[in-house]
């Protein structure tokens, strides 16, 4: 109706309106008659033809986004989601938030504070390498301008609570990683929230003593392991993923010049050593059993021979 058309025209032409209403512009009047080229110069009433393309609809948006004419996922294709430049490792800025939870029994308060300061610096050096490893594994991944990480040093009691709540394991562990997934495909933001890494200082101290290096060296090993988890690597998803993550651990530690082997390599070596020890004990038990059986046979033979001689 005329009233509806007038209302629509008012909404779309008012500068103060923020409604994203499409304006349908008629390129030519709907009742306009066209003279066909073949009728040019002829007398009489002109013949009217409907020519394809005589009426073209064009959408003009005064403000906002034309969601009424778009699919729901249209927002993922907008230019602002792809317009950020590709950053390099040298341009990447790393922000690390460090804090402590609980009271680790193996270190004093001032020593814990020093560890927090040192690991903050270590994380700033390790994050670019972890993201670079992710870029190698996922060629379409683009580095952000800023990467943010939360790092927590705690005691066994605190990490046991987290381990029970999120993994269903009521026991302390060495490191937990809480990854924040990447944005939807097509969305590239300049700031990336990596997630949280929680490390138990008590368990780290115990493992450092077992492996013959310092507490700081063990904390760095656990930091690298946690960062690779935040970068999308997961050694629990198959043998190939296990090998890839183990190689990246070794590579990162080597590039950073840090002491110690990767957590996965160390665990595999310990498992192999335990298996070798168990196999050695079984072989020794088998050898002892064979020796006892041989001795018994020899004694029986000697007794029979003596009786025969007698």
Query: Rounded to whole angstroms, how far apart are CA atoms 221 and 204?
Result: 10
- Number of residues assigned to the chain: 310
Say if residues 200 and 172 touch (Cβ distance below 8 Å). Answer: yes
φ, ψ dihedrals at 295, nearest 5°: -65, -40
| Residues whose CB falls within 8 Å of the CB of residue 170, separated by 6 or more in sequence, listed in order | 160, 163, 164
Q: What is the pTM of this model?
A: 0.65
Burial class of residue 239, CB neighbours in 10 A (0-12, 13-18, 19+): exposed
d(CA 137, CA 248): 11
DSSP state, residue 40: T
Q: Which residues contact 231 (CB under 8 A, 6 or more apart)?
A: 130, 131, 133, 134, 194
| Beta bridge mates, 150 | 97, 196
Give me the tens of pLDDT residue by residue for the chain, a chain 310 residues long: 554 444 444 444 444 443 444 444 444 444 444 444 444 444 444 343 334 444 433 333 334 444 444 444 444 444 444 455 667 888 899 999 999 999 999 999 999 999 999 999 999 999 999 999 999 998 888 888 999 999 999 999 999 999 999 999 999 999 999 999 887 766 778 899 999 999 999 999 999 999 999 999 999 999 999 999 999 999 888 888 899 999 999 999 999 999 988 999 888 888 887 776 666 666 656 655 555 554 544 444 333 333 333 3
Pairing of β 146-154 and β 93-101:
parallel
**DSSP string covering 223-240:** HHHHHHHHTT--GGG-HH
At 100, is the secondary structure helix, strand, or coil?
A: strand
Taking a C-beta distance cutoff of 8 angstroms, is the pair 224, 257 a contact? no
- Which residue from 206, 201, 190, 244 is spatially nearest to 223, judged by alpha carbons? 201
* Confidence (pLDDT) at 100: 95
Query: Distance (Å, rounded) from C-alpha 78 to C-alpha 81?
Result: 6
pLDDT computed for residue 43 by the predictor? 44
Give the number of other Cβ atoms within 10 Å of residue 189's Cβ: 14
Token duo for residue 290: 């064979």
HSE-up of residue 62 (Cα within 13 Å, Cβ side): 18
pLDDT for the residue 246: 93
Residue 215 and residue 170 in contact, taking contact as beta carbons nearer than 8 Å: no
Structure tokens at 266: 């160390």
**Beta pairing partners, 193:** 148
25: helix, strand or coil: strand
Q: Give Dmax (Cα) for the chain.
A: 153
């Amino acid at each position: 109706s005329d009233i509806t058309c007038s209302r629509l025209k008012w909404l779309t032409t008012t500068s103060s309106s923020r409604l994203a209403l499409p304006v349908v512009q008629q390129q030519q009047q709907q009742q306009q008659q066209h003279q066909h080229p073949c009728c040019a110069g002829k007398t009489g009433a002109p013949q009217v033809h409907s020519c394809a393309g005589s009426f073209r609809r064009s959408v003009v948006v005064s403000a906002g986004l034309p969601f009424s004419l778009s699919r729901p996922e249209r927002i993922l294709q907008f230019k602002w989601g792809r317009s950020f430049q590709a950053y390099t490792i040298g341009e990447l800025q790393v922000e690390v938030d460090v804090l402590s939870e609980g009271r680790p029994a193996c270190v004093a308060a001032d020593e814990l504070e020093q560890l927090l300061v040192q690991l903050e610096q270590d994380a700033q050096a390790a994050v670019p390498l972890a993201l670079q490893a992710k870029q190698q594994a996922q060629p379409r991944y683009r580095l952000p301008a800023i990467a943010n990480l939360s790092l927590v040093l705690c005691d066994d009691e605190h990490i046991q609570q987290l381990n029970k709540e999120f993994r269903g394991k009521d026991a302390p562990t060495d490191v937990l990683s809480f990854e924040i997934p990447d944005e939807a495909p097509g969305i590239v933001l300049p700031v990336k929230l990596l997630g949280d890494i929680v490390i138990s200082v008590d368990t780290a101290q115990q493992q450092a003593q077992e492996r013959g290096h310092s507490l700081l060296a063990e904390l760095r090993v656990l930091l690298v392991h946690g960062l690779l988890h935040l970068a999308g690597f997961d050694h629990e998803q198959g043998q190939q993923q296990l090998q890839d993550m183990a190689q990246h651990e070794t590579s990162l530690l080597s590039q950073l010049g840090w002491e110690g082997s990767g957590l996965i390599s160390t665990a595999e070596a310990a498992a192999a050593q335990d298996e070798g020890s168990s196999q050695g004990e079984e072989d020794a038990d088998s050898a002892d059993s064979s020796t006892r059986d041989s001795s018994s046979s020899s004694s029986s033979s000697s007794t029979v021979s003596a009786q025969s001689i007698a």
